[in-house]
Amino acid sequence: MARDKEAEPWKKQVNDVRDLFHFKELLGTGAFSEVVLAQEKQTGRRFAVKCVSKRALKGKESSVENEIAVLRRIQHDNIVALEDIYETVDHLYLVMQLVSGGELFDRIVEKGFYTEKDASSLIRQVLDAVNYLHRMGIVHRDLKPENLLYFNSQDESKIMISDFGLSKMEVSGDVMSTACGTPGYVAPEVLAQKPYSRAVDCWSIGVIAYILLCGYPPFYDENDSKLFQQILRADFEFDAPYWDDISDSSLMEKDPIRRFSCEQALTHPWIAGDTALCKNIHESVSRQIRKNFARSKWRVGLTLSLTLSLTLHGDLLPAALSCSCTSCTSCSSCSSSSALCAASRAFFRERFILRILSFR
């Protein structure tokens, strides 16, 4: 790891970061790091400090340097901020804004009241933040509910995007091709191992929006190769009773137009207007979330190259899928007193996640 102060003045050299912070409880762990709750001694302010071991990181320094480079460029109300960086002989310390409201799905399950309008508001905030990233030339590449955190415990808390470990800065003339992300949220063009663009983030937002409205994923199978084939074919359904307001002919419409950008999605009536219903859908959605999202494959971000090599190019590739229910759970047993509004269904139908990027 470089130690040139003049080349990297944003790294503050210290002998022991504990001279500046009281380290309290452990918040989480990763492959190269731990995240701890820390209180600044001088001000009493609390932060989440990501402690990166240089020994564990050896040979992979570019990954954390890329994350730092991205975080130093961005400042948005719905993105967890990088406040400071300290360096010692053995560690890097990324001092991050502390968000204390918990993960998206956990809060939805805990709430007693949750509506389609709440889902619309959440997606609008995510779209606004990701649109900002895209204007800055940054692609997140691992958008998923576990990376969407509430700022605080208040009912009206804003949502925050976190974890830029797989993010990438777009460079003019370059294309992205690394297969990375989280199974279930990754876009078809990534699984197809084609060059891809910022549109992969829009796909992931579409998957999240789908789940927020019904509680189960649009794509699911215990077998990775079958899951990937569902995604590659955009093989999902708008199951009754959630999506009853739009006809099957509209649902199955094939269109070569590219999916919505974040900017386009922000103008959709379901996001920008007042068409989202205020009917309480908490019981059915929270029940499905509890049922479907304890599975590890929906919670782990990874480089997919090896998995893809085994599932898409090896003997595990299925010739056909026998299961037509893309949730692969007992979604048909769900009950709801009313369907979601037509605009929410149209939000998906109109170029967001139904229409796949044409590969060229």
- Tell me the pLDDT tens digit for each residue of 192-240: 888 888 889 999 998 898 899 888 888 888 888 888 888 888 877 776 6
Domains of the chain: 12-97 (3.30.200.20), 104-349 (1.10.510.10)
Residue 355 is predicted with a pLDDT of 34
* Rounded CA separation 143/161 (Å): 8
Of the ranges 80-94, 101-115, 209-223, 316-330, the best mean pLDDT one: 80-94
Q: Indicate whether 346 pLDDT > 70.
A: no
Phi, psi of 117 (to 5 degrees): -65, -35
Look at 155 and 97; give whichever has higher pLDDT.
97
Residue 324 is predicted with a pLDDT of 31
Residue 51 is predicted with a pLDDT of 96
* Rounded CA separation 102/338 (Å): 29
Can you tell me whether residue 189 is helix, strand or coil? helix
Tokens for 313? Answer: 């190019």
Q: Indicate whether 6 pLDDT > 60.
A: no
Query: Number of helices and strands (H, E) in the chain?
Result: 13, 12
| Residue 148 pLDDT level (bands cut at 50, 70, 90) | very high
* Rounded CA separation 186/282 (Å): 26
Question: Does 58 belong to an annotated binding site?
Answer: yes
Look at 297 and 15; give whichever has higher pLDDT.
15
Q: Indicate whether 241 pLDDT > 90.
A: no
Residue 258 is predicted with a pLDDT of 62
Mean pLDDT value across residues 268-277: 84
Q: Looking at the DSSP assignment, which residues form a beta bridge with residue 148?
A: 161
Q: Indicate the range of 1-10, 18-27, 45-54, 91-100 predicted with least confidence.
A: 1-10
Q: Indicate whether 14 pLDDT > 60.
A: yes
| % residues pLDDT > 90 (the chain) | 37
* Rounded CA separation 93/108 (Å): 32
Residue 77 is predicted with a pLDDT of 98
Q: Indicate whether 259 pLDDT > 90.
A: no
* Rounded CA separation 261/198 (Å): 9
Residue 249 DSSP symbol? H
Helix (H) / strand (E) element for 269: namely helix 269-272
Tokens for 164? Answer: 């830029």
* Rounded CA separation 244/213 (Å): 13
Which residues form the catalytic set?
142
Quickly tell me which residue has 């709430």 as its tokens: 111
* Rounded CA separation 213/282 (Å): 10
